[in-house]
Structure 1
């Protein structure tokens, strides 16, 4: 910019008592001396910033690249944290450049303004908290904190001033609200005086936005004139005048107050007046002189903040004359005329404030979105990526949901544990998973001690005994990372099937195994009876009490904690009571077995923290991976009927699907709604799928996209994607989907953290095992049909619908009840081994291809702590075939009257009873004789009865 002389219009403004502040900031502008040149020539006496300015600077300025890399190399930072690091440094540099003006003017000028987040404009406490935080972060006396002039912010302004924080009150349109702001400033100073504190260093400006008022008023005038309003002449006479009149009246009110005795008492102690600052002074109407709002608002003790283009225009041809002092009477006349003509200035200023706050939020979204993009570009392959390939109508609905989440500030509210994001129930008590990774890093020494103990003892195996959230996460870790060289093999047992238990018993070296008993509540049946069994097995192998070989993971105060203490367990790891089981993989329930297996827990959690930062409250919905996933899932289900979520995974991370099944089903499947997940399905041709599916690809490394997914996408099916660059990013996938599930729960209008129907199944199972303990047998049940090795059971309603014929007749009637939009659940209470898994997969695909519905292949009782919640509490669209069989051999449970086989039978019957009580279409088939033969026959009958479908 050219040098200025004393005759320059810009320099002449100072003679009129007005200071020019530059509405612009950028690092290179500060560091290359451009700002200093304007300051040295007495052109610029302050600087203001806003989200749009920073978005252009930080989001797109090449000069920030090197520092961004350096910051992210040191630690994980969210977009908001990264922005703040960079912006604070820019503000500090600008403050330092303007410090000579600050000192020369005795703290009257030389300020740099830095804005609190516009997302909290209507939250007094949050605004004050952020004002304090930014004030400390910048640590410059010539900083001003910008606070939007909402009704809720008035108290924050008063308190900030009372604490000695300089404030730029921005987005002022209304004179009435300005009066409240000026009163808040004065009251804040008086509070300091009352506390015996100095006030000569406290400064404030009240920023009136000018041109936007005329934009609204002029548009209304033009509309009415075009409609042939009889007062067209009078209306047209007000074009371009109301905003200036409004500002002029505010100025004269300011003059009145500063001449009052009340103010003079403060001035005597060194108080500065709260100057009026004119903002939005570039003209929007080409018919007006481009410096109109600068020239008309020149007056003593005022500030005008100008963007560079308006600054240059005034330098070139502006006329500096003090006009404010003489304009009071004309201004009042203009406002009276506007009122008489029904232009409703008060309504317009209210609207402008609302729109201004919303616009600032959108600008902040753009800013943080740009910073997030810069962050992702720097991190590159260190981050997994999320993609949404959606049909156009669904994509538009997701965009609308993004805007709502931004408008309602729901991401910040979620992070602040605001239950109103969901049902306003108990949700706030179940959000400990948000900081689980951070908490884990804080407790890293405990995990390292466990890992060292495992090495010291030279354990060959680690056997985890748990169910649901306690087992599925560790199972993913074991399947993904395998055995560490020189370390033990991690095994995860989550079944009461006696054959399954025996298989695991025989797979480990009982005399050289560390046992981890994992139970959040400590009262869950399965971990307790597994503990009883394996304690005795280890005791026999060792010839003594195996106390040091056992570790507990449980919530503080649980029955399991007491049992671990009584038995002398070597370690007890405590879960966070504010984390539900299915959200617990990044808590001690996942990290304890990971540490025992020799995995690098610190590196794992630090990797997770990158995704936590990506989903942070400061990351806008449009670029927030957790929000993007959650909105897509929720919108697809609620607006498009696509509530069947099918996971398609790379082989190396295929185990993630079972964990996701539990997370989605147990979190969302309740109150007659929910997302029904399907894992392990081999993709078919597009023709076998209905319009109720969403496909989620879990892809690892540089594998190409599955061609079948491409085909599904091309015919209009939504395909979401998580692309992991390395297996280590499995932790990022955990957090991204936890966050997405919470978001989807909000869209569905449910509490995603309770599981009411799982508890009902537990109750029914407990009744049956207690009955066995008392009588020595389970209550008698009578089949309604039988055909050789296949015997059928159902409640009265289902039995009546299925008849009493042979197997083909019963099964045929059952599957004729399957309609469009339904799904089939195969619920097999048998050992989960490779041959049985293959049998279920073959049958489910056959049913899918012939009936064109989604199919689930589950093993009991494992699924009871997972998808069982959705099957019972979700939409009544499931058709279930429960499969039970005689156990080839049973196992006794030490100190219990019943066996594992009895427990499994009780769980199956309890499960079925709850399905029936929920009105589900359910049938149980019991296989007698050799299981393999019975399964083969059942598959054949099923194939025959649906052959013609």
Structure 2
């Protein structure tokens, strides 16, 4: 594992920070799991959140039982692995499986179309991993209930198809015991975003066919170096992240185009944003963006020469080093990297919306299949987008948050016998994520994109707890075929909209500009929105 500085200013700032940390004995103290590092106010939380340092060793205890589960699934022909999990429970397995090129269907959504897409795919050969650290995550609880009903309706015993990963003593463990589900208990002393090498990362990945023992071997190999003052990749990366942020370079552009590791920036995004974005401070990761050369950018490249910092190493070691570096960056910035104090507000607001919908809000503008909610003086949709871009401060960013089916673009109509370029063009023309690139071309400031409610478990903390320089654009869509949640008084579509409304309420309550675009026809609305963006 190697971290290389490729820009002189970064090297100088990192050397200064690393020197101070080394003089204070921080590398060895962190490697030994000293919870006092982040101060008295964080010590109690840190004391129960440093178990990730031991996972390369302790997670090996899972391998025998996990091997038996994999053998049983293969023997029974269960080759469609579905993971129901949010944040740390889904992002690491997705990276592991994409890198290993094995199929994993990830449900980190409340979108009815996306959930139905998974339900309609080989139910007779499906095994579902329900992952929730707290055991009370509303999205995973909903997925579990929906799959239980689907299995029973198909004459399948859910106990033969549902595997639960959770912390000891959680409500989900109790429900799983009563239902007779296979249970893997995770280390309770590991926070969700630091759980890549725990049962949360390993169980679904192993079922999908990834070689998880190699991940642990690679992580174990780098572990001894994390106690050192010299030759410590975690110290080198953490000092670069923290030192750059202190110097005003707090927009972390993640570059991974040339790496064999597939999708690592999405996992890093949650780890860094949720760990550092609080008390008005933080580091904002920006995924899938081209550097602009702005003074507040730090470009970190995964196995590529394009960045200010280059990080090389296998996936298991990358997980360990980024976790260590993020914990150090929190120390440098003076924040507790293990809590998420501003996440609960959006959840509470969601519950209030579900319990009693707020008074109907009238759109300030209707432009074709798009309704606009919020403050705007624009006369059309391109004007709304122009207003949002102009509202971004000189040190700020624009966040686009889409509460939609992130796979819907694959349903786009194709020309007859299309080549790959034509297929890509058709997908992009139907993909809400294309909006990020179009808007980024029209502003020198970073533009981020998150699928809701997935991002609520990652960058959602930074949006509300980090620097107050964000401008927010929500996209919601009409639901034409909803999905009931058995045993609950709401549907998936109702929950999805409530999550969007609840998060917007939290943002506005903090004085952060937030406009919602509602697509009354999803496909036509996305096409109209992308066309409007091209007119800005």
- 1:689 touches 1:853 (CA, 8 Å); kept in 2? no
1:395 partner SS: helix
- 1:826 touches 1:840 (CA, 8 Å); kept in 2? no
The match for 1:873 is 465
User: Taking structure 1 as reference, are residues 781 and 629 closer, same or farther at Cα in structure 2, changes over 3 Å only?
Assistant: same
In the alignment, structure 1 residue 738 sits paired with structure 2 residue 330:
no
User: Could you say which structure has the higher helix fraction?
Assistant: 1
In the alignment, structure 1 residue 624 sits paired with structure 2 residue 232:
yes
Shift of 1:544: 4.2
The match for 2:11 is 395
Bigger mean CA offset, 425-434 vs 749-758: 425-434
Q: Which has the higher contact order (CA 8 A, sep 6+)?
A: 2
User: Taking structure 1 as reference, are residues 810 and 492 closer, same or farther at Cα in structure 2, changes over 3 Å only?
Assistant: closer
Q: Point out where structure 1 has 5 or more consecutive residues left out of the alignment.
A: 1-383, 484-488, 700-704, 714-718, 772-776
- 2:97 touches 2:210 (CA, 8 Å); kept in 1? no
In the alignment, structure 1 residue 938 sits paired with structure 2 residue 529:
yes
CA deviations over 1:190-229 (Å, ceiling 9, x no partner)? xxxxxxxxxxxxxxxxxxxxxxxxxxxxxxxxxxxxxxxx
Select the residue among 592, 596, 602 that pairs with 2:213.
Answer: 602
The match for 2:254 is 647
Q: Partners in 2 of 1:730 and 1:880 — Cα distance?
A: 32
1:851 partner SS: coil
- 2:432 touches 2:526 (CA, 8 Å); kept in 1? no
Select the residue among 507, 515, 526 that pairs with 2:139.
Answer: 526
* Pairing of 1:28-427 with structure 2 (within 5 A): 384-391=1-8, 393-424=9-40, 425=42, 426-427=45-46
Q: Partners in 2 of 1:778 and 1:892 — Cα distance?
A: 21
Q: Partners in 1 of 2:487 and 2:157 — Cα distance?
A: 16
* Pairing of 1:919-934 with structure 2 (within 5 A): 919-929=511-521, 931-934=522-525
Shift of 1:834: 6.5
Q: Partners in 1 of 2:125 and 2:386 — Cα distance?
A: 51
TM-score by length of 1: 0.53
The total of aligned residue pairs comes to 514
1:814 partner SS: helix
Q: Partners in 2 of 1:848 and 1:544 — Cα distance?
A: 48
The match for 1:278 is none
The match for 1:460 is 79
User: Taking structure 1 as reference, are residues 693 and 804 closer, same or farther at Cα in structure 2, changes over 3 Å only?
Assistant: closer
User: Taking structure 1 as reference, are residues 834 and 647 closer, same or farther at Cα in structure 2, changes over 3 Å only?
Assistant: farther
* Pairing of 1:687-766 with structure 2 (within 5 A): 688-699=292-303, 705=304, 709=306, 719-724=308-313, 729-766=314-351
Q: Partners in 2 of 1:780 and 1:819 — Cα distance?
A: 31
Q: Partners in 2 of 1:387 and 1:470 — Cα distance?
A: 30
Shift of 1:519: 0.5
Shift of 1:447: 1.9
Q: Partners in 2 of 1:450 and 1:759 — Cα distance?
A: 35
User: Taking structure 1 as reference, are residues 896 and 421 closer, same or farther at Cα in structure 2, changes over 3 Å only?
Assistant: same
Q: Partners in 1 of 2:115 and 2:459 — Cα distance?
A: 22
Q: Partners in 2 of 1:418 and 1:607 — Cα distance?
A: 24
User: Taking structure 1 as reference, are residues 937 and 599 closer, same or farther at Cα in structure 2, changes over 3 Å only?
Assistant: closer
The match for 1:340 is none
- 1:883 touches 1:924 (CA, 8 Å); kept in 2? yes
Q: Partners in 2 of 1:651 and 1:841 — Cα distance?
A: 22
The match for 2:116 is 502
**RMSD in angstroms over aligned alpha carbons?**
1.9
- 1:769 touches 1:778 (CA, 8 Å); kept in 2? no
Q: Partners in 1 of 2:156 and 2:167 — Cα distance?
A: 28
Select the residue among 642, 657, 660 that pairs with 2:268.
Answer: 660
CA deviations over 1:313-337 (Å, ceiling 9, x no partner)? xxxxxxxxxxxxxxxxxxxxxxxxx
* Pairing of 1:467-546 with structure 2 (within 5 A): 467-483=86-102, 489-507=103-121, 509-541=122-154, 543-546=155-158
- 1:437 touches 1:608 (CA, 8 Å); kept in 2? yes
Shift of 1:390: 2.5
In the alignment, structure 1 residue 892 sits paired with structure 2 residue 505:
no
- Decide which structure has the larger Cα Rg and report it: 1
In the alignment, structure 1 residue 831 sits paired with structure 2 residue 401:
no
User: Taking structure 1 as reference, are residues 438 and 925 closer, same or farther at Cα in structure 2, changes over 3 Å only?
Assistant: same
Shift of 1:587: 0.5
Q: Partners in 1 of 2:408 and 2:39 — Cα distance?
A: 42
1:824 partner SS: strand
Q: Partners in 2 of 1:814 and 1:513 — Cα distance?
A: 43
TM-score by length of 2: 0.91
Shift of 1:841: 4.6
- 2:130 touches 2:162 (CA, 8 Å); kept in 1? yes
Q: Point out where structure 2 has 5 or more consecutive residues left out of the alignment.
A: 411-426
- 1:840 touches 1:857 (CA, 8 Å); kept in 2? no
- 1:642 touches 1:691 (CA, 8 Å); kept in 2? yes
Q: Partners in 1 of 2:295 and 2:189 — Cα distance?
A: 37
- 2:401 touches 2:475 (CA, 8 Å); kept in 1? yes
- 2:222 touches 2:317 (CA, 8 Å); kept in 1? yes
